Structure 1
Amino acid sequence: MTWPCVAAGAALVLFVLRDVFHTIWHPTRHGGLSRRVMRGVWRLSAHHRERWRPVGLAGPVGMMVVVTVWAFLVAVGWGLVYWPSMPEDFSYAPGLTPAEHAGPVDALYVSLVTLATLGLGDIAPTSEWLRVLAPLEALVGFALLSATVAWVLGIYPALARRRALALRLSHLGRNRLTTETLDSAGGAALLDGLASALSTVTVDFLQYAESYYFYDGEENICLAGRLGHAVGLADRAGRARHPDARLSASVLRTALDDLATVLDERFLRTGGPPDEVFAAYATDHGRSWDGEGGGP
């Protein structure tokens, strides 16, 4: 039982570390465990005909659940490594009977204390290999804490960029820009700025895929309901006579296509054209889609 238990524990720890790596540090991948947890929390929060208040908590709660699952599974994995060696390879504080504190719960306790770097010392490893292994678990615990902080610090700027783009599109939509308005060098510059912002948001969805599961709340800052404005601008500018406006419209349309590709491959799986993907994106975030302006 000793080596199978140790091997299972080591495999569990490596599985979690791989998921942490792909979720936080790998720029084009998304951890399988974190993805399933975030998607599950999102689906539970949105399982209503009308959007309800808790849906705004889906993203933050999902991240908390992911971090909790990571920490718990790492603790369980290291506990499985410790358990076969208890009580022979551990020293116990006075008042503790080794034979009574050598079960799986005690191994999990030792693992949690080590992972949290508390160092209580009431149960401590004495064999050479465990004395080396325990500090390594403490280092993993510290790395997990640092990774969580880095994750949070990366997600919220990405959300701010997405919401700023949605607000800008809302402003443009309210001004009802026509083909004649866009038929100029100024119109081309405006479209170039939108294409650049869309490219940034596309990269954010690649690097911080969990940001998809954050509900944006107010209509004007919800990109899912504002993308129709960008589609409409690209269509109108494509009919302009000014060559710069037509070129910028083409670039904007390409940026929209790239965004649709990422949304579909990562989250929606519709397999349809960009307009169908954007409609599914709007629906998934509680918005309606009319292809020109979005929103209800």
Structure 2
Amino acid sequence: MTWLATPVGAVLVLFILRDVFHTLWHPTRHGGLSRLVMVSLWWLSPRLGKRRRSAGLAGPLGMVTVVAAWALTVAVGWGLIYWPHMPEEFSYAAGLVPSEHAGPLDALYISLVTLATLGLGDIAPASGWLRVLAPMEALVGFVLLSATVAWILGIYPALARRRALALRLSHVRRSRATAQALDSDGGAALLDGLASGLSTVTVDFLQYAESYYFHDGDENTSLPRQLRYALGLADQATGAHHPDVRLSASVLRRALEDLAVVLDERFLRTGGGPDRVFVAYADDHGQPQGPDGPPQDGGGG
């Protein structure tokens, strides 16, 4: 039955390559394995300890787990491809008895050495097609390493943009800007900037869906805590006298609605409007709700 090992190994390798492709290089898609791992860890995190502390580990731990699963599955897959052809189609270093080094663990050893791009060890392929296959595995190993670096370089800037937007909203909220103060050219510019930031975050959630599973510990940099305030800001500015403010408020409202659609379709599944989605988003991240909008009168106090 060892002949079955080769097609099974090929299927495992192709499955992982497909998952890497859809996770990293196909915008708006989410790889099956990576999604399963991230969702599972996110679901388990509040059940394993204090919610904020455990949820804070879900994203980073999920990325490490996904990368480890990719590497291990590819190594096992390629080992299964090699195994049925051992020892006849492999050359062994002096001192090794081929018949004693032809088991599945030996095949996995060859696969790990090749995948890690360490060169050939004391067991090396000798037949023509296996000699071509081994460098291909090394190439896949290099691709996995590059993909991991690219993933990290994509996820963390997306998190920085999300937290910067949340902090900007927190600044506006804590400055106690009134609806009257927003009814000006400066208010229109402020609303435009917030709408632009929300559009960027929406695209980040589409292209880097895994960023959803990273917890924002500080309340001022937590977007789930600030979104209902942004919604109230847009609603109140809609009634402003300044035409530019009304236009900017409308754009901000559309940006919030687009973000709510993405959050609901990809993560929350509430089927509700923006307000309901943002409440569910805050609850999923263990964040209390902030105020719904700016005060109507007076600035300080």
Q: TM-score, normalised by structure 1?
A: 0.95
Verify the 8 A CA contact 2:164 2:221 in the aligned structure 1. yes
CA distance in 1, matches of 2:49, 2:281: 16
Amino acid at match of 2:20: V
Counterparts of 1:237-248 in structure 2, within 5 Å, are: 237-248=237-248
Per-residue Cα deviation, 1:116-151 (whole angstroms, up to 9, x for no partner): 011242110000000000000000000100010011
> Does the aligned pair in 1 maintain the 2:52–2:286 contact within 8 Å?
no
Q: Secondary structure at the match of 2:206?
A: helix
Q: Which residue of 2 aligns with 1:270?
A: 270
Matches within 5 A, 1:26-45: 26-45=26-45
- 8 Å CA contact 1:177, 1:233 repeated in 2: no
Q: In the aligned structure 2, how far is the partner of 1:47 from the partner of 1:273? A: 29
Aligned to 1:288: 288
* Worse-superposed segment, 2-11 or 131-140: 2-11
Quick one: distance in 1 between partners of 2:177 and 2:48? 36
Q: Percent identity?
A: 73
CA displacement at 1:113 relative to structure 2: 0.7
Match of 2:218 in 1: 218
User: Is the CA contact (8 Å cut-off) linking 1:90 and 1:125 kept in structure 2?
Assistant: yes
Aligned to 1:110: 110
Cα deviation for residue 242 of structure 1 reads: 1.3
Alignment of 1:144-293 (within 5 A): 144-289=144-289, 292=292
Between stretches 27-36 and 111-120, larger displacement belongs to: 111-120
Is contact 1:178–1:236 with CA below 8 Å preserved after alignment?
no
Alpha-carbon offset, residue 27 of structure 1: 1.0
Q: Deviations over 1:248-287 (max 9, x none)?
A: 1111010001001111111111111111111111011111
Q: Find the counterpart in structure 2 of residue 130 from structure 1.
A: 130
Whether contact under 8 Å (1:10, 1:77) holds in the other structure is yes
**Amino acid aligned to 1:17:** L
Post-superposition offset of 1:291: 6.4
CA deviations over 1:172-198 (Å, ceiling 9, x no partner): 111222221111222111101100000
Q: Is the 8 A contact 2:257 2:274 kept in 1?
A: yes
Structure 1 residues 52 and 28 mapped into 2: Cα distance closer, same or farther (>3 Å)? closer
Aligned pair count reads 293
Gaps spanning 5+ residues in structure 1: where? Answer: none
Q: Distance in 1 between matches of 2:219 and 2:30?
A: 28
Quick one: structure 1 residues 175 and 291, their matched pair in 2 at CA, closer, same or farther if it must change by over 3 Å? closer
Contact 2:167 2:220 in 1 (8 A): yes
Asked whether the equivalents of residues 172 and 229 of structure 1 are also in contact (C-alpha less than 8 Å), the reply is no
Query: How far apart are residue 50 of structure 1 and its match?
Result: 4.8
* RMSD of aligned residue pairs (Cα, Å): 1.4
Shift of 1:29: 0.5
Structure 2: gaps spanning 5 or more residues: 294-301
**Aligned partners of 2:37, 2:12: CA distance in 1, in Å?**
17
Deviation at 1:4, TM superposition (A): 3.0
Q: Secondary structure at the match of 1:153?
A: helix
Is this contact kept in 2: 1:282–1:289, CA < 8 A?
Answer: yes
TM-score, normalization by structure 2: 0.94
Q: Which amino acid aligns with 2:83?
A: W
CA distance in structure 2 between the aligned counterparts of 1:211 and 1:129, rounded to whole angstroms: 41
Deviations 1:160-180 (A, max 9, x none): 110000001001111222221
1:219 positional shift: 0.6
Instruction: Describe the SS at the equivalent of 1:58.
Output: helix
1:195 and 1:255 in contact (8 A); partners too = yes
Q: Which amino acid letter does the alignment assign opposite residue 64 of structure 1?
A: V
| C-alpha contact (below 8 Å) 1:179/1:239 kept by paired residues | no
* CA shift in 2, pair 1:49/1:56, >3 Å: closer
**In 2, Cα distance between the equivalents of 1:141 and 1:224?**
38
Structure 1 residues 243-252 or 179-188, which shifts more?
A: 179-188
Give the CA deviation at 1:289: 2.7
Q: How far did 1:94 drift?
A: 1.6
